[in-house]
Amino acid sequence: MISWCAGILSSLLLLLAPLWAWAQQDGIFDEYRAMFGDDNPAVFVIDEGEELWFSKAGPNSTSLEGCDLGLGAGVVEGAYAQLPRYFADTDRVQDVESRLEHCMIELQGKTREEIHAKPYSLRGDLGTEMEALVAWLAEQSRGLAIAPGQAHPSERSSYELGEQLFYFRAGPHDFSCATCHGQSGKRIRLQSLPDLTAHEGAAEAYSSWPAYRISQGIVRTMGWRMRDCFRQQRMPELIMGSEAAVALQTYLAVNAAGATMAAPGLKR
């Protein structure tokens, strides 16, 4: 039912394709987005995420209600905004995706292989469980301040490694994250590029993911955004919830700290 609704909405969005070309003009996207009003198609995905959280699944036939996202087992309100953070039980700094993976394995008895088989949608897909869960969890932090952990030494070293990775130039094109996101007021083709090394740019970006991507008809997560940036950097595929994925998100979240979560957002 939910997928069906999302399908209908995606088709409606395709009818808006001519508007799309027009919306590509820099600055006009805000007007285009305003035409949606409060109608972010992500609402269907958020509902699906909620359903998934409370549904019994996996070999253990258990829900995720016992999952500790940092604020205690089952506490979801405000949890997303305080990630990534250090978890004593795994002795790792974790983002929302690696923590969900941990809970799916420990509570539900799922395998790492099945969780990693397809965490993010391919073009034309109607969404994955991971995307829906992340969308719902982000919604539970809407309006709250971004406050990732930085008290534990592992959290601070995650930030430092994230900074190193942000400037890491490699691959045939010598690109790093900083190539596109290290200066303010720049754009690639017509797309504005936030300066993720500064608070303002990091806040704008971090607070708006996960987001419904109109051009792809799907909710995308911050973890996916990291993976896709590396694809564009001509690098291999970033593993969901890996240490590098977490470190980069820690770097962004700390740079964005204090800003207000406004996800799931709506993006071109």
Partner 1 sequence: MTRMKTIKPLVLLCCFLINSALADEAAMLLKSSMADKNFVTLERVERDALQSFCSKPRSEEGDIETANALRESARAAVPMPTEDDFLGDWQRGEAVANNGRGLQYSDNPEQPNGGNCYACHQLDPDEVAYGTLGPSLTGYGARGQSLSMLEYTWIKLWNTHAYNVCSHMPRFGAAGILSEQQLKDVMAYLLDPRSPVNSGLSP
90 near partner 1, judged by CB under 8 A? no
Nearest distance, CB of residue 174 and partner 1, angstroms: 6
* Ranges within 218-237 binding partner 1 (CB under 8 A): 230-232, 234-237
Could you say which of 107, 247, 252, 253 contacts partner 1 (CB under 8 A)? Answer: 247
232-to-95, 132, 171, 180, 237 alpha-carbon distances in Å = 22, 25, 11, 11, 10
Of 59 and 172, CB closest to partner 1: 172
For residues 63 and 77, give the distance between their C-alpha atoms in angstroms, rounded to a whole number. 17
Question: Is position 229 annotated as part of the catalytic site?
Answer: yes
Q: Contacting partner 1 (CB under 8 A), which of 126, 243, 267, 268?
A: 243
- Residue among 65, 156, 168, 268 that touches partner 1 (CB under 8 A): 168
Using CB under 8 A as the binding criterion, the count of chain residues that bind partner 1 stands at 45
CB atoms within 10 A of CB 143: 9
Specify the amino acid at residue 99: R
Hey, which residues does 86 pair with through a beta bridge?
Answer: 93
Question: At CA 53, angle to CA 55 and CA 65, rounded to 5?
Answer: 90
For residue 86, the SS3 value is strand
Residue 3 DSSP SS3: helix
Minimum distance from residue 35 beta carbon to partner 1 (Å): 22
The smaller minimum CB distance to partner 1, of residues 129 and 163, is found at 163
Is 154 a binding residue for partner 1 by CB under 8 A? The answer is no
Residue from the set 24, 150, 216, 260 that interacts with partner 1 by CB under 8 A: 24
Q: 245 with 238: CB under 8 angstroms?
A: yes
- Residue 108 as a binder of partner 1 (CB under 8 A): the answer is no
Asked whether position 164 contacts partner 1 by CB under 8 A, the answer is yes
The residue within the footprint of partner 1, chosen from 31, 51, 114, 174 (CB under 8 A), is 174
Q: Which residues lie across from 267 on neighbouring strands?
A: 213
- The window from 4-12, 83-91, 176-184, 205-213 that contacts partner 1 (CB under 8 A) reads 176-184
Q: Any idea how long the chain is?
A: 268
- Across the chain, which distance is largest between two alpha carbons, in Å? 52
Closest contact distance (angstroms) between CB of 38 and partner 1 is: 30
Is residue 110 a contact partner of residue 59, using CB atoms and an 8 Å limit? yes
Of 38 and 91, CB closest to partner 1: 91
Residue position matching structure tokens 């030494």: 153
Least distance between partner 1 and beta carbon 243 (Å): 5
Distance CA 19, CA 16 (A): 5
Active site residues: 229
Task: Provide the binding-site residues for partner 1, judged by CB under 8 A.
Answer: 24-25, 160-161, 163-176, 178-180, 182-183, 185-190, 193, 197, 230-232, 234-239, 242-245, 247
